[in-house]
Structure 1
Amino acid sequence: MRVIFCLLFFFSTTAFAQDSIALKMNWLAKAKPTTNLFVHFDKNVYTNNEIVYFTGYLLKDKITPSSEHKILSICLVRDLDSTIIIQDKFLMDKGLAFGSITLPDSILTGDYHFLAYTDQLFNGLPNAVFHQSITIKTNIDPAFKASLKILEDVSDSKNNHQVLLAATTKDNRFLPKPLQINYKYGNQSTKTKTDASGQLLITLPAKSDLADPNLYVRLSNEKDTSFLSLALPVKKQKASVKFYPEGGNLVSGLQSKIGLEIKDQQQMPVATKAFLLENNQIIDTVETSSYGIGNFQLSPKESAIYSVKLIHSGLADSVYYLPKALEKGITLQLQKAVVKDTLSVVIKNNNSTKLNFLIHNYREVFLNIPFDMDVNRRIIKIPLHEIPKGVMAFTVLDSLKRPLAERMLFAHHSTTENIVANTEKQTYQQREKVKLSLKLNFDTISIVSIACVQENRLQTKNTNDIESYTYLTNELSNLPVVLKGTPYKDVNYLEQILLVKGWRKYTWQELQKTTANNTIAKTDSLQMLGWITKSKKELTKPIMIGAFGDTKIRLIETSEKGNFNFNTDELILEQGKKSSLFINDKNKFQYKINIEDQFLKTNEKLVKTAIFHSPVLPSTVTNNADLVLKGNEKAIRLKEVVISSKKDNSIGFLGPSGSNACGDYVCLYSILNCRNHVSDPGNTQPVAGRSYNTNGRKAIYQECRQGLGLDENFLKYNGIHYHKEFYHNDYKDPQEPAFFSTIYWNYATILSNKKETEIEFYTSDITGKFKVIVQGITNNDVVYGEHYFEVKSKQNP
């Protein structure tokens, strides 16, 4: 008998505000607040000397208002050894932060990630944290060639791997002396050298229990260093196979859908086929997708044993057993888990009882409906007008408010493009003007950041968009990589994920244990603090200190005890400018400036303790030229020039090559702080009073006062910065190379549906596919759009 129980009315949370579950969810939301910080980086593959542009969006914070988040901290971390390469701080205002970071010339190739967080603390740790994986390539040809190769047909191949490392000069000759070698495999780390011919035979035990199957090798030749990595084959091993009955349990005699997820030992998805067996007899064939997820229907019989046998040559021939079916219980079946405005649920039951169902997100209950399950099958259709957009849980409770079954769903999903982006044509020539039009697809306004980058600077494994992060990654975490497009727009991907993935942050067991005491939390904020002492003692009256780092000198008065805060307009400089403080007093040599940068310690703490999920992919960097940009993507670099030492009257700032104490330099084409020639040996220092090209116009350079006429009684510091404008170039000078992979970047652009926003920029000398990415926020949602075009070489007359 089929009974359709259609709910044509709505309930708000006020109807059950005193309900114990709703109250506990409120406590849990306060004990484990969800804050959504997203940072849009212009791309995710960079090279040495490049500038990284970004916009930070604080989307929600249940603890502190967005206006209290004053600083965004950014640091670059090397994945291999968790070394912090760069760290900086940027001004945040009303939940928005803009900035840029210049990567050092000496940065090594490989996998890295940006760690971003705001200054607000919850129980001693930043509450708004974001990770972005990137890959660093190089535009410098390696000083030597090196490669790794697995040797086959060796006598002890069953027990050991034999890997041959070979290195030569650029012109394939023997190296003048052996290379220093450091390699790591599993827990084994070894330091050695190559032989006279530049070779090294590495013998490694064959292991099947490694979480990371890669061999990592570092090669050093005096100041030149290269990294190689190689995935070693593993013995046949048992897979990780998990079963997810829809609703949570198998129940005897009730048909339900069972999700199947198969991963290898490195937790990578396995696409394969498998036999479904009942009492060791094949009754069906199951297939998993490229995400390692499949499903099948089953009506379990009482006392029957069900199992799955994989059909995969790379995995051990093992049998995996399904959980035992319950005699009495409830099963759920969603017609679709990804829905727009109506949810249809089939509930099956072999034990009549009084039930409740909830729709919630473990932080708030949106619907709480009691009903009698007096039949063995009921269809419930639920309007979702009162349910917010995003991942939700449909939970069935018994009369004692205990969960019997649960299923995840996505409410108000839409694949409609909310930003329409178009260019006047699909193909452009080098250095040609591009006209881009942007318009919202619904009635509101939005603030967005816009990037136009070379497509091969966007690796699939590092991809992160604001829609998918907000509604999926930030809620469920550690999701399989989408092979094409964005996770949010792929409905088939979402249906698979919602069948097998549960909440990572919340559980019913945790909910039951939560009390009002758990909501007591300590909130605080990170700061950069400074104070002045005189003869190692606290001051008794204010003193003036001077700050400089650009063309101005600012004077700041301390408190009576000599304290001052760096989060003040006078101490915030444009990114890239070096900062210093000095005592403005005739007895300045009696004073000492002290700084406590609380962000530095927090960076170290988060790198060691924060959970960062980066998929362990089989490595293919078997030749050190694999992480070098192609010839058509980089300018010809001048050979290094050795300059004899001379007296240096600067105050020791480590700025770009050829720069002055303020970090300013002029390239060969008379462009001030040219982003195409950071650390170029041909750079020179600007001369005060001369006119230089900057941001497409002429400007007279003012005198750099840093280090001029000052005593040694000063303190250098890395302070808080505001953004540096992106240099929009029309590339009119034919002699100036223009190998930019990011040809346009902008932030805080306002879009609406009333009229199109038109943007103009120029292509560079790089040919191939380019991608426009537009993402940002509205009053109550996030928006994302993309567009492609191609750049072709100019035709010679």
Structure 2
Amino acid sequence: MFKTITQIKKYSFFCFLSIISACGCWAQDNKTIPDIEKIYLHTDNSRYFVGDDLYYKAYNVRANNNLLFDNSNILYVELISPDAKIIARNKTNLEMGLGNGDFQLSDSLGVKPGVYQLRAYTNWNRNFGEDFVFKKNIEIIDVFESHSKTNKTQNGISDIKTTEISKQNNFKIDFFPEGGSLLLNVTSVVGFKAVDSKGYPINVTGEIFDSDNELVTSFSSTHDGMGKFQIIPIEGKNYYAKTKFPDTPDLRTELPGISKSGYSLNYKVVRGKSIIAILTNEQTLLQNPNAALTVVCSAKGVAYFESLQTVTQTVMSFELPKEITPEGISQITLYDSNLKPLSERLIYIEKEQDLEVQLSTDKVSYQPNEKATVNVISKSKTGIAKSASFSLSVTDMNGVTEEKDFGTTISSYFLMESDIRGKVYNPGYYFDTANLKRLDHLENLLLTQGWRDFVWKTTPGSNDNIKYMAEKGFTIAGRVKQLFGDKAKVNNRIGMVLMNKKHMNSFKTYTDSIGSFKFENIMFSGKTKMSLYSRNEKGKYSGEIIVNPIEQPPLAVFFKNETINRNESTTLIVENVFKKYTSFGVKPENMLAEVSIAGKKKPRSISHFGIPDASYVADKDMSLFTNIYELIEQKIAGVVSFEDSVRFVRYEAAPLFVINGMAAFKEEVDAIYLGDIERIDAIKGSQAKLYFGDESSNGIIAIYTNPNAGNRSKNEYFHSIQQEVDGFYMARVFYSPDPEKISSEDNKLAVRNTLYWNPYVHPDKAGNANVNYYNTKVETKIRVALEGITGSGIPVVKNAYYIIKK
């Protein structure tokens, strides 16, 4: 498909897009806010097997308010192998901030078992650094190989756990004072985080001692190796921790140093109110009486609250108005009178949204192969429809009974993960509303992982000094110079033809004063033939064309090789998938890449221009002619000789010659070997102009050569370029077939791990949506996962479960 950006198709959910535009007006008018994009990919599954397909839905939002952002139209989605190689790259078409695509995790792609990284970014993202590039690690397992390895051990899962523990001899614990520093004689909150040698969290207990080896306090982690304790540093003493790790001697760790003067921040929620406290000591008050300090609360690069405080006592508290701050991560910073930052603290603001999204199935139990219906309702708490764009995944849980999946979701990513650096273990845990302790544990996370290490600290405050432009479409550009030398060819006419199996279009422009040309915002999909030519002001082919790279080069890869975490859950899943495959006849060879079998019927070349006015199919008479123009003049009615070419009767100039669908130059036509010709079509009148505009105003002679013609008709000339280019990836539609139509040989499809995937579930004007699909023939537990975002920028995550049982 070829089109400029102004010709992009309209979405069926027009009301949804209207709300996005209305909600985005304020941000667009505020020039102090950088137009930063955040990308999130919802995938159909979190774990894959060699031979599976990986499907994704892309969400591109404005970073400061999570509204879908119609800024970039090209999203680069890459699959990175365990050895840090980009093995597949899709250019996904974003329309109004949404797009979708897929990867075939096949042997032909070079997919082997291991941990891969899914990476997504736009050209615009490059301006704001690595932190605004979406990354997600996925495990790809060879179920047959993994099962074989497991069976070689005598104790199965136990052997795996024993092997891991024997290697975990390098534990680590770090301590993080709230606000940045420990202050002398000031009650300080200290967060801590403990991990094993692989970086996984590990729960610990320990004690704090002073430099006289006197016990000061004890501590224990409350979730994922994290926790906190209080301490009042005393003058003349230092402090250390003794931490107890499993099967290893206690680890001694020194606490951070103590500042004799200064300021710190404390944050806590008291009876639903957010309280900020400025902490200091008497020595600081004496040194800086009535110090004027400013507290600023900002979120996603925007300052929402500012308070000037005159510090006259060691503890000064005030309330942070939650109604003016957005939901998600915020940064509190304390500045002195010279705007020097003195203390920082990350906090999380949770808000009750006027939104009720419901996800349900028409049954809680289904027969194998039975049709299922999923219902989605998106409304306010008072029943008013709420527009949204959702993606829906239905997957086989493969023996796992736990209904909690704490991986990355659209909520955890947009509201938390994308605003702090480093990997968050089980991020979805902090957004499980059924967990009453999640916000307390999130506080511990922000005390440790978010300690003075905030993504937005180094983000530019405006769109100044932008180096990489937002891509609205593909840009095909270059320059034309003299054949000998480097002098620019000015005002040359540049023609371009793009054609693939479904579409064809032509474009034209002229070179500027330095010989440059550019075709901007061109939209096309799939593998496409591109033909460029240059003519001077007299219409003669002229100059040498030099084309710039069409595709942006990939970002550098910084992916550290990881091993698959073979815990009890992974081992259980592998065992159940192996049983499922063997029970239903899925063999290792079924997991390989698809192989197409060539038939014996000779393919006929495709006509690109409809029904021709005249046509010639190669016959034995062709050997009687010495060149192609004689052949055309004698075999195509209404054609006469013209100079060193031919023309149609009633036309004054030669027609446009097209070889196998590509506009060609005379030199290419001259070089055609007559024995390679399969068919010649003649197209005249308005039908001809329909395809190439003015270029074909004198008609078209379409020449089709045999598939085995070789390269004789593909000569290249300096004034023209012909090459194959890749446009937008043409996403495949997920196939969820009627079981009665599944071939008995296609057992893998009948027991697929992803039962259904739909990247575009859009509620209607009443706030309702429903989808239908068929279950597999496996008795199992099924997870239905819905993710998406509303027209007002609220991320949504919902899950439902049911069973398949006879």
* Mapped pair 1:103 → 2:105: yes
Amino acid at match of 1:478: G
Q: Mean alpha-carbon deviation: is it higher for 765-774 or for 342-351? A: 342-351
Q: Mean alpha-carbon deviation: is it higher for 51-60 or for 753-762? A: 753-762
The answer to whether the Cα contact below 8 Å between 2:399 and 2:780 also exists between their aligned partners in 1 is no
Q: Select 1:406's aligned residue among 331, 338, 344.
A: 344
- Shift in Å at residue 468 of structure 1? 0.7
Call closer, same or farther: CA 1:707–1:758 in 2, change over 3 Å: farther
Call closer, same or farther: CA 1:631–1:543 in 2, change over 3 Å: same
- Shift in Å at residue 132 of structure 1? 2.0
* Mapped pair 1:547 → 2:499: yes
Q: Which residue of 1 aligns with 2:207?
A: 275
Q: Which residue of 1 aligns with 2:60?
A: 58
- Shift in Å at residue 145 of structure 1? 5.3
Report SS of the residue matched to 1:732: helix
Q: Which residue of 2 aligns with 1:301?
A: 234
Q: Which residue of 1 aligns with 2:392?
A: 450
Report SS of the residue matched to 1:491: helix
TM-score, normalised via structure 2 length = 0.65
The answer to whether the Cα contact below 8 Å between 1:767 and 1:790 also exists between their aligned partners in 2 is no
TM-score, normalised via structure 1 length = 0.65
* Mapped pair 1:350 → 2:298: no
1:4-41 CA-partner distances (Å, limit 9, x unpaired)? xxxxxxxxxxxxxxxxxxxxx998x75xx743111111
* Mapped pair 1:256 → 2:200: no
Q: Select 1:636's aligned residue among 572, 585, 602.
A: 585
- Shift in Å at residue 73 of structure 1? 1.7
Report SS of the residue matched to 1:286: strand
Q: Which residue of 1 aligns with 2:467?
A: 522
Cα distance in 2, alignment partners of residues 272 and 706 from structure 1:
74
Structure that is richer in strand per residue = 1
The answer to whether the Cα contact below 8 Å between 1:450 and 1:774 also exists between their aligned partners in 2 is yes
Call closer, same or farther: CA 1:73–1:591 in 2, change over 3 Å: farther
The answer to whether the Cα contact below 8 Å between 2:496 and 2:530 also exists between their aligned partners in 1 is no
Report SS of the residue matched to 1:494: helix
Q: Select 1:470's aligned residue among 414, 430, 433.
A: 414
Unaligned 5+ residue runs, structure 2?
A: 1-29, 155-159, 535-540, 604-703, 715-721
- Shift in Å at residue 655 of structure 1? 7.6
Q: Which residue of 2 aligns with 1:6?
A: none
Q: Which residue of 1 aligns with 2:363?
A: 425
Cα distance in 2, alignment partners of residues 259 and 567 from structure 1:
51
1:147-177 CA-partner distances (Å, limit 9, x unpaired)? 79999xxxxxxxxxxxxxxxxxxxxxxxxxx
Q: Select 2:442's aligned residue among 494, 500, 505.
A: 494
Amino acid at match of 2:95: D
- Shift in Å at residue 568 of structure 1? 3.3
- Shift in Å at residue 470 of structure 1? 0.8
- Shift in Å at residue 749 of structure 1? 2.4
Amino acid at match of 1:135: E
Cα distance in 2, alignment partners of residues 595 and 765 from structure 1:
54
Call closer, same or farther: CA 1:479–1:598 in 2, change over 3 Å: same
- Which runs of structure 2 are paired with 1:75-90 in the superposition (5 Å)? 75-79=78-82, 81-90=83-92
Q: Mean alpha-carbon deviation: is it higher for 291-300 or for 391-400? A: 391-400
- Shift in Å at residue 86 of structure 1? 1.5
Cα distance in 1, alignment partners of residues 551 and 456 from structure 2:
32
- Which runs of structure 2 are paired with 1:629-778 in the superposition (5 Å)? 629-633=577-581, 636-637=585-586, 656-658=595-597, 712=711, 713=714, 715-733=723-741, 736=744, 737=747, 738-751=750-763, 754-778=766-790
Amino acid at match of 1:658: I
- Shift in Å at residue 579 of structure 1? 4.3
Q: Select 2:175's aligned residue among 243, 246, 259.
A: 243
Call closer, same or farther: CA 1:315–1:536 in 2, change over 3 Å: farther
- Which runs of structure 2 are paired with 1:39-50 in the superposition (5 Å)? 39-50=41-52
The answer to whether the Cα contact below 8 Å between 2:408 and 2:426 also exists between their aligned partners in 1 is no
Cα distance in 1, alignment partners of residues 542 and 576 from structure 2:
53
Amino acid at match of 1:246: E
Report SS of the residue matched to 2:323: coil
1:18-72 CA-partner distances (Å, limit 9, x unpaired)? xxxxxxx998x75xx7431111111122233433222111111689994441212
Amino acid at match of 1:406: E
Q: Which residue of 1 aligns with 2:77?
A: 74
Q: Which residue of 1 aligns with 2:640?
A: none
Report SS of the residue matched to 1:474: helix
The answer to whether the Cα contact below 8 Å between 1:110 and 1:136 also exists between their aligned partners in 2 is yes
Q: Which residue of 1 aligns with 2:135?
A: 131
The answer to whether the Cα contact below 8 Å between 1:549 and 1:706 also exists between their aligned partners in 2 is no
Cα distance in 2, alignment partners of residues 439 and 776 from structure 1:
13
- Shift in Å at residue 274 of structure 1? 0.6
- Which runs of structure 2 are paired with 1:381-396 in the superposition (5 Å)? 381-396=319-334
Q: Which residue of 2 aligns with 1:209?
A: none
- Shift in Å at residue 466 of structure 1? 0.8
Cα distance in 1, alignment partners of residues 327 and 128 from structure 2:
31
Cα distance in 2, alignment partners of residues 317 and 370 from structure 1:
46
Report SS of the residue matched to 2:739: coil
Q: Which residue of 2 aligns with 1:94?
A: 96
1:108-146 CA-partner distances (Å, limit 9, x unpaired)? 12111122222436459899521221122236x459955
Q: Which residue of 2 aligns with 1:373?
A: 311
Cα distance in 2, alignment partners of residues 656 and 706 from structure 1:
27
Q: Mean alpha-carbon deviation: is it higher for 711-720 or for 777-786? A: 711-720
Call closer, same or farther: CA 1:515–1:119 in 2, change over 3 Å: closer
Count of residues in Structure 1 that have an aligned counterpart in Structure 2 = 615
Q: Which residue of 1 aligns with 2:221?
A: 288
Amino acid at match of 1:35: E
Report SS of the residue matched to 2:444: helix
- Shift in Å at residue 101 of structure 1? 2.6
The answer to whether the Cα contact below 8 Å between 2:421 and 2:455 also exists between their aligned partners in 1 is no
Amino acid at match of 1:720: F
1:456-478 CA-partner distances (Å, limit 9, x unpaired)? 59999993211111121110032
The answer to whether the Cα contact below 8 Å between 1:109 and 1:627 also exists between their aligned partners in 2 is no
- Shift in Å at residue 529 of structure 1? 3.3
The answer to whether the Cα contact below 8 Å between 1:357 and 1:394 also exists between their aligned partners in 2 is yes
Structure that is richer in helix per residue = 2
Report SS of the residue matched to 1:452: strand
Q: Which residue of 1 aligns with 2:117?
A: 113
Call closer, same or farther: CA 1:616–1:301 in 2, change over 3 Å: farther
Cα distance in 2, alignment partners of residues 385 and 143 from structure 1:
52
Amino acid at match of 1:523: Y
Cα distance in 2, alignment partners of residues 660 and 59 from structure 1:
48
The answer to whether the Cα contact below 8 Å between 1:533 and 1:593 also exists between their aligned partners in 2 is yes
Amino acid at match of 1:521: I
1:520-562 CA-partner distances (Å, limit 9, x unpaired)? 3323356463779999898954556462235x5x243454569
Cα distance in 1, alignment partners of residues 38 and 164 from structure 2:
35
- Which runs of structure 2 are paired with 1:354-365 in the superposition (5 Å)? 354=291, 355-361=293-299, 363-365=301-303
Report SS of the residue matched to 2:345: strand
Amino acid at match of 1:274: G
The answer to whether the Cα contact below 8 Å between 1:358 and 1:367 also exists between their aligned partners in 2 is yes
- Shift in Å at residue 639 of structure 1? 8.9
- Shift in Å at residue 732 of structure 1? 2.5
Q: Which residue of 2 aligns with 1:220?
A: none
Q: Which residue of 2 aligns with 1:572?
A: 525
Cα distance in 2, alignment partners of residues 267 and 378 from structure 1:
38
Q: Which residue of 2 aligns with 1:783?
A: 795
Unaligned 5+ residue runs, structure 1?
A: 1-24, 152-212, 215-228, 642-653, 665-704
